[in-house]
Amino acid sequence: MADKTTLKYTAEHEWIRVEGDLAVIGITDYAAEKLGDVVFVDLPAVGAALSASTVVGEIESTKSVGELFAPLDGEVVEANDAVVDDPSLVNSDPFGAGWLVSVRYDALPDTLLSWDDYAALVGE
């Protein structure tokens, strides 16, 4: 599991781990808990161009269907097929094996939150 304090976050409950010019993206444990048991994940294809704040996928649980939003502009370089095959990874390891996509980006948006800001947002 990644150290939550070193990640960036969005108000839509996504986390971003910066690795050079790549951003690995997933949903937070808070979001996974609120969704309930995740049963389906639809991710953008490798090569897809992402635009910040646009819908790029879907996550479905036993409780609801939610949209996945792009937290930044970039190109998908890898989608986590393990999550597509076993959506429960989003619940069991949201900051590790439950990551969703890896994106090559040019710049991080100013709207990303620090851990302290995100924790305050969700009341942790």
Q: What is the mean pLDDT of the chain?
A: 94
Q: How far apart are CA 54 and CA 44, in angstroms?
A: 12
Q: Which domains does the chain have, with CATH numbers?
A: 4-107 (2.40.50.100)
The answer to whether residues 6 and 113 touch, using CB atoms and an 8 Å cutoff, is no
Q: What is the pLDDT of residue 1?
A: 55
Q: How far apart are CA 76 and CA 49, in angstroms?
A: 7
The reported pTM is: 0.94
Q: Which two tokens stand for residue 41?
A: 């994940």
In this structure, are strands 49-50 and 74-79 parallel, antiparallel, or unpaired?
Answer: antiparallel
For 84, other C-beta atoms within 10 Å of its C-beta total: 14
Mean pLDDT to the nearest integer, 45-61: 95
Rounded to a whole number of angstroms, the CA Rg of the chain reads 13
pLDDT in tens, 57-114: 999 999 889 899 999 999 999 999 999 999 999 999 999 999 999 999 989 999 999 9
Mean pLDDT to the nearest integer, 30-47: 95
124 — pLDDT class (breaks 50, 70, 90): confident
